[in-house]
């Protein structure tokens, strides 16, 4: 016992736990509590009126709907991209691998301006879509593209290490038993990837819900059409409606927590199920 204590790098449990809770409280718990306390001070009737206004409801639908759809799109294409980077060799592979992290390094405002210039009517891509009647910039579609852009690295970087650790012998065994490629992927590969995919989905969704800089330029910010919830909060703050801003923010927090808890619960259930099957 004395030897085990001597080998510990960090201080005792009490000190480590106290430091962890104090740091977590200062950085996370106190700011989040302040949001709920501030919104509680406005009364239940005023709170309901603030969060059920048509303009606010429309922003909720757009922010959460676009975030869920963008995360779902990234799950599919992020998996394909991660699989290609791990299992195949092609020219420019290292460059593609490095470009995946570009949304992490690129300032969000720069990303928003770049996407807007690219998908505007006179942009490189927007000019090609304009003859078909497809308008991207300043529409909800532009918001979706921006959220896909900033969320893709979460899926790829979460799934990529799992694919690297997969033993190809199981796939070869399935193929030798007569399984098709789709059957091998669905019954052998996919069960091992589902927990990582759910984790990446949760990260991409959480990032997309609160994204502001890369979306604000391409959204158009038209009330009831392309106005996201973070912009609604900023607008209320600029109007000195602090209670209304915290009310909207508290609803976002509650819905985000619920969705993340559901996803984490699914991830834990999938991990347990996969362990039992193994």
Confidence of residue 75 (pLDDT cuts 50, 70, 90): very high
Give me Rg for the CA atoms of the chain.
Answer: 23
Parse the chain into domains and list their residue ranges: 9-40, 44-277
Confidence of residue 183 (pLDDT cuts 50, 70, 90): confident
Confidence of residue 190 (pLDDT cuts 50, 70, 90): confident
- Of the chain, the percentage scoring pLDDT greater than 70 comes to 92
Q: Which of 20-29, 138-147, 222-231, 256-265 has the highest mean pLDDT?
A: 138-147
Q: Is 142 exposed, middle or buried (0-12, 13-18, 19+ CB in 10 A)?
A: buried
Residue range 19-42: average pLDDT?
Answer: 79
Task: Supply the DSSP string of 165-227, one letter for each residue.
Answer: HS-HHHHHHHHHTT--HHHHIIIIIHHHHHHHHHHHHHHHHHHHHT--HHHHHHH---TTTS-
Confidence of residue 24 (pLDDT cuts 50, 70, 90): confident
Give the whole-angstrom CA distance, residue 78 versus residue 248: 31
Give the whole-angstrom CA distance, residue 63 versus residue 224: 12
pLDDT tops 60 at residue 11: no
Longest dimension (CA), the chain: 76
- Of the chain, the percentage scoring pLDDT greater than 90 comes to 26
Q: Which residue has the higher pLDDT, 259 or 238?
A: 238
The CATH number of the structural domain formed by 44-277 is 1.10.3720.10
């Amino acid at each position: 016992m004395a030897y085990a204590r001597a080998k510990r790098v960090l201080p005792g449990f009490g000190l480590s736990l106290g430091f962890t809770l104090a740091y977590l409280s200062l950085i996370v718990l106190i700011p989040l509590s302040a949001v709920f306390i501030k919104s509680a001070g406005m009364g239940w009737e005023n709170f309901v009126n603030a969060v059920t206004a048509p303009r606010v409801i429309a922003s909720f639908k757009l922010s959460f709907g676009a975030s869920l759809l963008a995360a779902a799109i990234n799950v599919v294409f992020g998996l394909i991209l991660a699989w290609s980077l791990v299992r195949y060799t092609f020219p420019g592979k290292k460059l593609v691998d490095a470009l995946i992290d570009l949304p992490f390094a690129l300032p969000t405002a720069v990303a928003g301006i770049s996407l807007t210039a690219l998908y505007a009517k006179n942009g490189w891509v927007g000019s090609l879509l304009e003859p078909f009647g497809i308008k991207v910039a300043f529409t909800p579609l532009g918001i979706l593209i921006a959220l896909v852009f900033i969320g893709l690295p979460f899926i790829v970087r979460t799934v990529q290490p799992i694919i690297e650790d997969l033993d190809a012998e199981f796939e070869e065994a399935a193929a030798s038993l007569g399984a098709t490629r789709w059957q091998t992927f669905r019954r052998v590969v996919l069960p091992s990837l589902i927990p990582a995919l759910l984790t990446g989905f949760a990260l991409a969704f959480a990032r997309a819900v609160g994204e502001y800089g890369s979306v604000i330029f391409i959204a158009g910010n038209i009330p009831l059409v392309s106005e996201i919830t973070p912009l609604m909060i900023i607008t209320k703050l600029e109007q000195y409606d602090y209670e209304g801003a915290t009310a909207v923010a508290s609803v976002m927090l509650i819905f985000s927590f619920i969705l993340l808890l559901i996803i984490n619960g699914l991830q834990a259930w999938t991990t347990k199920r996969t362990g039992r099957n193994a």
